[in-house]
Amino acid sequence: MNTPLAAKALSGQPCDHLEEATRVRAVTSWIIEAPTRRKHKLSNTSISYQGYVFVRVTLENGVEGFGEASTLGGPRWAEESVEAIKANIDTYLAPVLIGKPACLLEAAAGEMAKAAKRNNAAKSALDMALLNATGKTLGVSAHVLLGGARRRSFSAIWALASGDAGQEVEEAQGMIEKGWFNRFKIKLGFADPATDLDRLAALQKALPLGTDIIADVNQGWSEADFIRFIPRLADLGVSLIEQPLPGGQMAAMARIAARSPVPIMMDEGVFTTEEALDGCSRGAGSVLSLKLCKHGGVHQLKQVAAVAQAAGVQLYGGCLLESSVGAAAHLHAFATLPDLHWGTEHFGPKILIEDLCRNGLKYENFEVHLPDGPGLGVTPDLDLIEKYARKD
């Protein structure tokens, strides 16, 4: 820690000027369209570039904090699109933060909650920018402000989602050879179940024996589909099945979870603490995927995680193809949890043709590593931000 305010804290002197120094002077937002290395398919869309809303918060002390909100192909994965996120940040959320101390993160979250319902991705972008700016002001890593890291690296998962079995086999083998990823999630739900499972079988046959494979149906099946095809999924040896049914069908999720020999993970059905309590109480899954874009900020993510852990539900570090900015924010929050049983799939920086940071995340030995340094520990490349910013 090498800032004057941090030095005062170490010496035991009161930091009377911290709130004044960290008052928010300005908020700037951009819509970013960053091209991906190959098409990424879900049950209801396919993308060849990833959409973000990138935000910069400038404090009265001159420190800048950065954050991002991520979507997948518009308002299809959830209700927010990049256009709506930017409009709500500029019109409703940023104005309630101007003049308020960035260091009062809980108070800022409360102000945003009053200013707009849900809009969780938009709120999470601003929340991570405030966290980043406060950490940089104090010269400490973001995880320190969240309670401190319990782990410095995470088992990493790569998602296979082109729909072409041959391409996916080649891609997975390349990830293993590079030492980046040896666990894989395969996206299902955009073909009929039998075709999807044939593709999964080809992948399983080509990869090393015992390779961990997770099946993500992205809400693409009905309860009847699941009952019909779960025997084959189980025979193929998948370790986990993510959100096979629509997010609103908690009762049906509970029924399939009760009969499934493979653990079920809740994702799109759980955004809030109330939804976490409902899903966990019903037994709608034994694993829960955590994402800042769902929960609205780092503290809200930790609250959802606490509900799940109290219910005995295991935790998984989900992603929405974030760049190193958003991925780093996730890792700082994940690092403080008592457990992250399933590791994390934060592979977004590697699927982009160009990451949005000059010093992005480090992947080695099949793990992604918590970045060091003040704030989020990554430095956005503003030239790339400008390059991929929407110009209209």
Cα gap 167→180, rounded to integer Å = 18
In single-letter form, the type of residue at position 269 comes to: G
Asked about 187 being catalytic, the answer comes back as yes
Per the residue annotation, which of 123, 345, 350, 367 is the catalytic one? 345
Per the residue annotation, which of 41, 187, 294, 350 is the catalytic one? 187
Looking at residue 283, what DSSP letter applies?
T
* Secondary structure (3-state) at 216: strand
Beta bridge partners of 23: 101
Q: Taking Cα atoms as reference points, which of 187, 181, 287 lies closest to residue 240?
A: 287
- Residue 17 and residue 5 in contact, taking contact as beta carbons nearer than 8 Å: yes
Asked about 33 being catalytic, the answer comes back as no
- Residue 241 and residue 186 in contact, taking contact as beta carbons nearer than 8 Å: no
In single-letter form, the type of residue at position 224 comes to: A
Could you give the count of Cα atoms lying within 13 Å of 89 in the half-sphere of its Cβ?
A: 32
Token output for 133: 């700016």
Q: Helix 250-259 vs helix 273-282: angle between axes, to the nearest 10 degrees? A: 40
Burial class from Cβ neighbours inside 10 Å (0-12, 13-18, 19+) for residue 14 reads exposed
Hey, CA dihedral for 257, 262, 268, 270, is it positive or negative? positive
Token output for 86: 């930017």
Looking at residue 373, what DSSP letter applies?
S
Cα gap 314→153, rounded to integer Å = 18
* Secondary structure (3-state) at 215: strand
In total, the chain counts a number of residues equal to: 392
Looking at residue 164, what DSSP letter applies?
-
Beta bridge partners of 57: 27, 65
- Residue 384 and residue 354 in contact, taking contact as beta carbons nearer than 8 Å: yes
- Residue 338 and residue 150 in contact, taking contact as beta carbons nearer than 8 Å: yes
Give catalytic residues, as residue numbers.
187, 345
